[in-house]
Amino acid sequence: MKLLKKVTAGLLLVFGIPLSIVAVTEIFDRETTPQDKTDALAVLIILTLPATAVGGWLAWGLSKESQKEISDRLQSTFYRLLKQGNGQISILGFAMETHLPAGAAKQYLDEKAKEFNATFKVSEDGSVFYHFNELSALPMSESTVFASVILPNDYWTIGSTRDDVLRIQGTPTQVAQYETLGKEVFYYGSSSNIVFKKGRVVEYNNYHNNLKVFVGPSSPNK
């Protein structure tokens, strides 16, 4: 249906606009005879203007549909990354997922930050993360982390031990120690990472969607 609309809009505009210009030129040309002016006016009113109007209306509708599709895709990606990141998202991760330029990705996240009253965090490497407090899970004690949820054997979650992550996720591509912050970070790939405090997971960033993390009671996220 969309293809048909595009073709129809294109044909109508290609037909209507040039002929409308020709008709208007004929009407205002002093050398045109009165009969030719009358004929040109009739063509303009009966054929070319309606064709141009309908073609323009179809093109405008297609543009609105396209904008809505883009908006829906960005919003869907935003919420998915936010869920995967446990309430945290970066410009780089969002830009990589949506293929937006860095400036456009930042503008979108800035708008969402205002909408949801988000805060900002700067990682040790200088990356800026948007922290959506209402959607992020707070670190829990060992006795309360998902106490009512039985995790599948091949998934880990917030509160899982370092040994469990190594068993389930495998050897990380890089390990970073931040002794002053009491943190240890496992990197899997260039962006996905898992942060530990006192040997337990306190946060993660699943930008490559390659972490075997359980994000809620309903379904695990591979």
Average pLDDT, the chain: 78
Q: Which residue has the higher pLDDT, 133 or 65?
A: 65
Which tokens go with 222?
């591979």
Q: What is the pLDDT of residue 122?
A: 63
The per-residue b/e assignment along 44-74, b for 16 or more CB within 10 angstroms, e otherwise, is: beeebbebbeebeebbeeeeeeeeeeeeeeb
Domain ranges (residues) in the chain: 2-71, 85-134, 140-221
Q: Does 180 or 146 have the greater pLDDT score?
A: 180
Q: Report whether pLDDT(56) > 70.
A: yes
**Whole-angstrom Cα distance, residue 25 to residue 27?**
5
Mean pLDDT of 148-158: 70
Q: Is 27 exposed, middle or buried (0-12, 13-18, 19+ CB in 10 A)?
A: middle
**Cα-based angle 191, 163, 139 (whole degrees, multiple of 5):** 65
Is 70 exceeded by the pLDDT of residue 14? yes
